[in-house]
Structure formats: C-alpha cells, structure tokens
Structure 1
Amino acid sequence: MIRRALFHPRATEAERVRSFVTDALTRWRLLQRVPDDEARLVATELFSNAIRHARHDGERLPVVVCWDDEVLRIEVHDPDPRQPVPSWHGAEEDSGRGLLLVEALSYRWGTLPIHDGGKCVYAELAPLKPDE
C-alpha cells in the first residue's frame, strides 16, 4: 500500500505531514501494528530536514508512506542531490539532532538518488510485536 502527497517546504506544513501519516495508518488499519507516534516523529524530522537543508527553490516536496506487511517506510523526496549527514550539535543548540533521532527510531534509514537528480531520504519502522 502506498500513499503520496505534496507539501510546501514550510515549517508550518509539518502538522499536515504528521496528519498525513496518521491518516494512512488509520485507512490501512495499522494503528495497533505500527508505532504511530514514532512514525509521525520520523516523518516530521525527515520533512524538516529537507526544508532546512536541501535546495528546493520553493518546490513542493513529495512525502510517501508505504506498507508491505513487514515494514512501514516513510520517504521525503527533494531535488537536492547532496546527502544528509547526521551530526551531534552541542547541548546549547536547539536543533541539529533530527537524523540521529530518525536513526534511533528506525529499523533502517538511508538515501537513494531519484531520476530528476534529487534524492529520496527514507526511514523504515518495524511493526510492533504482539506484546508491545
């Protein structure tokens, strides 16, 4: 199952991205199988990273949510081919830890080049075990 949507590269769109993820999980009846809070947080971090660090020239950014019965995959596409780099900023910094958070919450994350010269940054979340 796949859902896609385009979002303007503005911080105010983050809530719409979170709602998009929850809507997909609700439609697919996965709220009991996938950690919704973690999925929403991962999607927000990937989207926020793209709007802060990728060159997008104001183009809307595709967000994709996929489910294949074994893993939930969240993708954010942007036209910038530069690869994201997780970094730890000092304790006095208010931001800069997004990809470290994505890495901690995800089963796997990474990037793939896309046909137009940009990239897809993705994170995969494993479903909850029955006792979780």
Structure 2
Amino acid sequence: MNETIILRPEPEAIKSARDHVAMIAGALHFDDFLPRLIVSELATNAWRQSAPDDHIVVRAYPWREHLVIEVWDQSDKIPVIQFPGGMEEGGRGLMIISELVVRWGTRPVAEGGKIVFAEIGK
C-alpha cells in the first residue's frame, strides 16, 4: 500500500486526498470519518497556500496506536489557530482539528515549505 500521493494544487485535490486517506485508514482498521475530515482541512489549507505550479504531498501511515496524516506544501507560511468572530465564515479549521486529534503541528522541510501533521487515535 502506497502511503503517499502527490497532487496538483487544485480543488479536485481535496477529494483525492480524502479518498487516499480513507483507503489507508480502512486498511489499518480505523474509522475513516475523522481522517477524511482532518485531511480535508489540511489539504484545503495547502491548496490555498500553493502556487499553480506547486504540488501537495499527502501521506498517511500508522505510528504506535495512531494514524498520522501529513500534508506538505511549498509555502513557508506557518498555520496558526485562529479565533474568528461569530459572523466570519472561515478560519475555524485548525481550531476544530486541535480538539479532535491527539496532537498536531508543523515542521519545515529542507526542500522548502512545511509539513502539517495530525495524529488520530483509534
């Protein structure tokens, strides 16, 4: 099973990322609802930060009792949890993710950009 896919930064990439992570989650006997939700948010953020000629790398794999989801994009902009006002339509994704996962974070990549990861428990 290939844990990694490379996607073009376009809206269709979000569905491809969800399908990929769901397949891996199922093979590892994880319910796929939360992994799909998490990768949707991370891949959407990566798509929004990417230039048209960039790429997005999505990886999911087991680690201890967790499923780790990683999304790499070529932007150096580090994501932060936002606390939008009640009338704002966006900006809540990482706040929601932080409440649903064991842990999440980001790390720079030597080739440029960053990886945003989330660990999901069973």
- TM-score normalised by the chain length of structure 1: 0.83
CA deviation after TM superposition for structure 1 residue 117, in Å: 2.2
Answer whether contact 1:89 1:96 (CA < 8 A) is retained.
Answer: yes
One-letter amino acid of the counterpart of residue 43, structure 2 = F
The residue aligned with 2:40 is 44
CA deviation after TM superposition for structure 1 residue 101, in Å: 1.4
The residue aligned with 1:20 is 20
Deviations 1:6-43 (A, max 9, x none): 112122321111111111123x241xxx2311110000
Answer whether contact 1:112 1:120 (CA < 8 A) is retained.
Answer: yes
CA deviation after TM superposition for structure 1 residue 110, in Å: 0.1
Are 2:74 and 1:85 equivalent residues in the alignment? no
Answer whether contact 2:25 2:35 (CA < 8 A) is retained.
Answer: no
CA deviation after TM superposition for structure 1 residue 89, in Å: 1.4
> Can you give the 5+ residue segments of structure 1 that lack an aligned partner in the other structure?
128-132
Work out the percentage of aligned pairs sharing the same amino acid.
32
Structure whose alpha-carbon radius of gyration is higher: 1
Q: Distance in 2 between matches of 1:12 and 1:70?
A: 30
- TM-score normalised by the chain length of structure 2: 0.89
Q: Distance in 2 between matches of 1:68 and 1:122?
A: 12
SS of 1:90 mapped into structure 2: coil
CA deviation after TM superposition for structure 1 residue 76, in Å: 0.4
Are 2:31 and 1:35 equivalent residues in the alignment? yes
Q: Go from structure 1 to structure 2 and tell me whether the alpha carbon gap of 1:76 and 1:5 turns closer, same or farther (over 3 Å shift).
A: same
Answer whether contact 1:66 1:72 (CA < 8 A) is retained.
Answer: yes
Q: Please give the residue correspondences for 1:65-84 in structure 2 after superposition, counting only pairs within 5 Å.
A: 65-84=60-79
Q: Go from structure 1 to structure 2 and tell me whether the alpha carbon gap of 1:101 and 1:120 turns closer, same or farther (over 3 Å shift).
A: same
Are 2:33 and 1:5 equivalent residues in the alignment? no
Q: Distance in 2 between matches of 1:117 and 1:60?
A: 12
